[in-house]
Chains A and B, each alone.
Chain A
Amino acid sequence: MSDRDRQLEYSLTELPDMMDLGIRQNMLSSKHKHLWPNAVSKFKKSIEERNPLNSYIHKNMNTAKISKHVNKTPIFNTVVAQYEDEYVGDWHISDGHIQLPMGNETWWGIKVLDEWTKMSSLKEYEPYFEPTGRISDFAFLNTTNPIGLRFDTGVTETCQVVFKEQLIDEDLSCINVIIDIGKNSNVTLEEFISPKIKGCKIIKITYLVRQGAKLEILRTGTPGDNSLTIVDSKFICFPDSDVIVQTKGKGSHYTQEFFDFDIYRSSRVCLDGRYNIKNENNNHVGVLVNHLENDSISNIDVKTVADGDSNSSFIGNIFVDKIARGTDAKLFNKNLLLSNKATAISEPQLDINTKDIECSHGCTVSNIDPHQLYLLNARGLDSQSARNTLKECFLNQ
């Protein structure tokens, strides 16, 4: 191997000690020094104090898979970006970069926020960044450039957004993206999360759903062998806003998805998660719902079917602030195990600090009901067809 091909190998366990080394551009580089100084300082301190991999919230999430993963960054070579025609009609988001549909440089009603756009106003978003102790904190500090999309007030728009790396390498990819939905706008995002083959990718998305706005997200996670994908979605739901999220995935070598909702007055959140996990795939989901003001509604429904040797977990937490009277919160997680080797762990938590609310939750882990299976067999469906039918019924309910 020539010197030019040499790579530095590191894991996320070692990353906190390497961030100052300047291996590649990140939020500690001089370039970003003045963008979000306070937030950067807080994140750095938090990660130095405790590596997010060791955070209590990940206790059931098999993070050993991530800590064992070796990222490889070239020491001398620069990897050339490869643009793919198949995403030509989509918004294409990768580490530090947003590519507009059809090669456009501007788009009516949507403003791109990045270092190349004048007056991108990225600086004003600093107050929305606080360390969470989750793995996505790495994405905040290690992205090559923070990026964002801002939808104008009152706009109605549907966008296909593809999260896919343009660089074919085995280095860690970190995306920190802000999606700012303007007041009274109505936006649908069809999101496709592509895995980084043989690599680890951490995506931190901060959605600001302004007053009176409606945001609908239809997210599909594509499975990938040997890929590790962490997606952490933070939603700031301003008063009278409406957020609907439908997400589906099949897991991968390691997939972790967090949804963190801050819900203000008279706003509504609905999350439907459907996961179908097979083989030795991992899929871990965390949902944190924070009712911070009065008369808000949340409805969380996450279902997982686990087959083969797969490993899945769910942690859900509803927090109701003492001033959040009139809250209506529902949190449900159901898991169907199709094999004796598959595992599913479900943990609901409630932190209620006021009266005059409605709150319900339920978590189950079960096997296929033999009586249902018998009924379908007795009408001629063979065991595999019957199991597939029952699986689909479970996910589609």
Chain B
Amino acid sequence: MIVTQEFTVKVNDEYILDDVHVDFGPGIHILMGPNGVGKSSFANALMGHFNYETTGAVEFFGKDLLALETFERARAGLFVGFQSPSPVPGLSNFQFIKQAKQSNGIKPNIREDLSEFRALTNKLGLGSEWDKRQLNVDSSGGEKKKNELIQMLMLDPKCAILDEPDSGLDVDGIKMLTEKLNEYIESDPTKVLIIITHYEKLIEDLNVSSVSIMKNAKIKQYEGKDKAYQIFEQGFSNV
């Protein structure tokens, strides 16, 4: 679980979040909000991005998240699927996974890991040479999203925050995404999945526990997924 109290995020003296209290328990949570409101910043601030100044408290499965370095947050089980991850020329997709698994204390088994990696890339329609492709170099938006999903599935974190995982995906890609997200959350009843999205079909196909709306540096949390449908009908102006 991930619980924030008096959580404030600032960048260049501008408040992205101000005194936010939210509680993401086990299950799937949707985070919505108008464009530019700072949803990605919320995810990055939790991950410990160097641009953000944070105060308040964030409890992450019993740990004080804000006291941890970025790599310690990852090792504690937090995963952020980025909207536009940086390209790293010279580092192959599989090498990256291998190093990430080792760093997270997962005993490497190259043969099994590669087999799992290739099965996932095959299912997601990425090329057969995807393991050798350089990380996020010359990749389309959709390919980057699929790659982030593969990383999440192979690292199997306690809590994943996915930033618009549906963008750039075609109909088959969305279907696969939904299937994989359901598999992920059903594999362990304590897992937390926070998805930043405005895609109605994705929300419809997932078993959503809560919908949170981010606006004016605040986050308001609503149980179930009804609030999302209200937003689809009426927009954010009435929230």
Using CB atoms and an 8 Å cutoff, list the residues of chain A in contact with chain B: 369-372, 374-383, 385-386, 389-390, 392-397
Contacts and interface: CB of A to CB of B under 8 A. Distances in A.
A378 to B, nearest CB: 5
A393 B91 contact: yes
Where chain A touches its partner, the secondary structure class is: helix
A104 to B, nearest CB: 43
A382 B49 CA distance: 14
A389 B134 CA distance: 13
Interface stretch (B67-75, B186-194, B207-215, B228-236): B67-75
B130 interface: no
A126 to B, nearest CB: 46
Interface stretch (B9-17, B34-42, B80-88, B169-177): B80-88
A374 B100 contact: no
Nearest to B76: A380
A370 B91 CA distance: 16
Contacts of B85: 375
Given A374-B70, A380-B75, A381-B71, A394 B90 contact: yes
B155 interface: yes
A396 B134 CA distance: 12
A374 B50 contact: yes
Nearest to A371: B86
B45 interface: no
Contacts of A383: 69, 71
A385 B102 CA distance: 11
Interface string B95-139: 010011001100000000000000000000000000000000000
A367 to B, nearest CB: 13
B88 A372 contact: yes
B188 to A, nearest CB: 19
Nearest to A382: B71
A73 B86 CA distance: 56
Contacts of B74: 377-380
B89 A381 contact: no
A321 to B, nearest CB: 35
B54 interface: no
B30 interface: no
- Smallest CB-CB A-B distances: 8 pairs: A393-B90, A380-B103, A379-B100, A377-B70, A380-B74, A397-B90, A371-B86, A380-B104
A368 to B, nearest CB: 11
Contact of B69 (A371, A377, A392, A393): A377
A389 B71 contact: no
15 contacts: A374-B70, A374-B86, A375-B82, A376-B88, A376-B99, A379-B74, A379-B103, A379-B155, A381-B100, A385-B103, A386-B71, A393-B88, A394-B90, A397-B89, A397-B90
B151 interface: yes
B50 A370 contact: yes
A98 B203 CA distance: 76
Contacts of A393: 88-91
B86 A372 contact: yes
Given A379-B99, A380-B155, 5 more contacts: A376-B99, A377-B69, A378-B80, A380-B75, A389-B91
Contacts of A372: 86, 88
Given A374-B49, A385-B99, A385-B103, A379 B151 contact: yes
A381 B99 contact: yes
Contact of B70 (A378, A390, A395): A378
A386 B75 CA distance: 14
Contacts of B73: 378
A378 B88 contact: no
Contacts of B155: 379-380
A376 B50 CA distance: 13
Contacts of B96: 379
B47 interface: yes
A276 to B, nearest CB: 14
Contacts of A382: 69, 71, 103
Contacts of A389: 91, 99
Nearest to B90: A393
A303 to B, nearest CB: 10
Interface in B170-224: none
Nearest to A392: B90
A383 B74 CA distance: 13
Of B49, B79, B86, B155, which is in contact with the most chain A CB atoms at under 10 Å from its CB? B86
Contacts of A395: 90
Contacts of A394: 90
Contacts of B82: 375, 378
Of A375, A379, A380, A390, which is in contact with the most chain B CB atoms at under 10 Å from its CB? A380
Contacts of B99: 376, 379, 381, 385, 389
